[in-house]
C-alpha cells in the first residue's frame, strides 16, 4: 500500500496549489522509492519516458517561443498590420484564415496552425483590430465574441479539412469501422466525399462570419 503514496502527494499538491510539474515529479520519486528503486533507476525511468515520447513533447517547446514573441509585442504588431490594410475586414480576415486552415489540413499539415501558436497571438488580435476599424466602441462582450469566432474558425477549418487527407487517423478509423459491418470502402473514396462537406462547411461558416461582421458594426441584432 505504501506505493500508493504518490496518489496522496498528487491530491495534496493540487489542493495546496503547488506547481503541477513539481507535484508530479515528487509523486513519481516517492512512488519509486516506496517500490524499492534507487534514485538512479528513477531518473533513468524519467529519461526513458521522455525519450519514448520526445516527438509528442517537442511540440511544447514552441510555447515558450510564442510567449517570448508576445512579450516583445507580437500581438501589437499583428494589430498594427491590420490597421495598415484598408481592405481587411473582420469577415474577410477570418474567412481567409478558414480557407488557409482547410487547405493546410487537407494536405496533412494539421499542426501548422492552431489555437496556441496562431489564433491567440495572431488571428484573434488581428480580428479584433479589424472589428475596431469599423466600430471603435466595441464592448467587452463583443471583443470576447470576436475571439471566440477566431478560435471557432480554426476548429471548423481543421475538422472539415483534415478528412480530405488520406493518411489522417479519422479516415483510417472510418474505414476500419465500416469494414467491421461488411462495407469495404477505399480511403480515397472517403477522402473525395469529404471535399463537398468541407466546401459546405466553408460556405456556412462564411455566412456566420459575415453576420458577425455586421453585428460588430451594429447593423444586425441578435446572435
Would you state the pLDDT for residue 37? Answer: 84
pTM: 0.66
Mean of pLDDT over the chain: 83
**How does residue 54 score in pLDDT terms, banded at 50, 70 and 90?**
low
195: exposed, middle or buried (Cβ count in 10 Å: 0-12, 13-18, 19+): middle
Domain residue ranges of the chain, discontinuous segments joined by + = 2-52, 65-216
- Helix axes 62-71 and 74-84, enclosed angle (nearest 10): 60
C-alpha cell at 95: 474567412
Among 13-22, 60-69, 175-184, name the one with the lowest average pLDDT: 60-69
**Distance set, CA 90 to CA 85, 200, 210 (Å):** 12, 21, 8
Would you state the pLDDT for residue 223? Answer: 43
The model's pLDDT over 7-25, given as tens digits with 9 standing for 90+, comes to: 888 888 888 888 887 888 8
The model's pLDDT over 30-39, given as tens digits with 9 standing for 90+, comes to: 888 888 888 8
Amino acid at each position: 500500500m505504501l506505493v500508493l503514496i504518490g496518489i496522496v502527494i498528487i491530491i495534496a499538491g493540487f489542493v495546496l496549489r503547488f506547481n503541477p510539474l513539481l507535484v508530479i515529479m515528487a509523486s513519481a520519486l516517492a512512488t519509486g522509492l516506496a517500490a524499492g528503486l534507487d534514485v538512479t533507476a528513477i531518473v533513468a525511468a524519467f529519461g526513458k519516458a521522455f525519450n519514448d515520447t520526445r516527438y509528442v513533447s517537442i511540440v511544447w517547446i514552441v510555447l515558450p517561443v510564442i510567449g517570448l514573441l508576445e512579450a516583445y509585442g507580437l500581438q501589437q504588431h499583428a494589430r498594427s498590420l491590420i490597421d495598415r490594410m484598408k481592405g481587411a475586414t473582420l469577415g474577410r480576415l477570418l474567412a481567409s484564415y478558414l480557407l488557409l486552415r482547410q487547405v493546410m489540413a487537407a494536405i496533412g499539415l494539421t499542426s501548422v496552425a492552431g489555437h496556441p501558436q496562431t489564433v491567440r497571438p495572431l488571428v484573434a488580435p488581428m480580428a479584433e483590430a479589424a472589428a475596431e476599424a469599423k466600430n471603435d466602441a466595441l464592448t467587452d462582450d463583443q471583443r470576447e465574441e470576436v475571439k471566440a469566432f477566431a478560435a471557432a474558425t480554426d476548429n471548423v477549418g481543421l475538422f472539415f479539412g483534415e478528412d480530405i487527407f488520406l493518411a489522417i487517423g479519422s479516415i483510417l478509423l472510418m474505414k476500419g469501422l465500416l469494414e467491421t459491418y461488411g462495407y469495404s470502402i477505399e480511403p480515397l473514396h472517403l477522402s473525395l466525399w469529404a471535399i463537398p462537406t468541407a466546401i459546405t462547411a466553408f460556405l456556412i461558416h462564411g455566412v456566420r462570419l459575415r453576420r458577425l461582421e455586421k453585428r460588430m458594426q451594429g447593423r444586425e441584432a441578435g446572435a
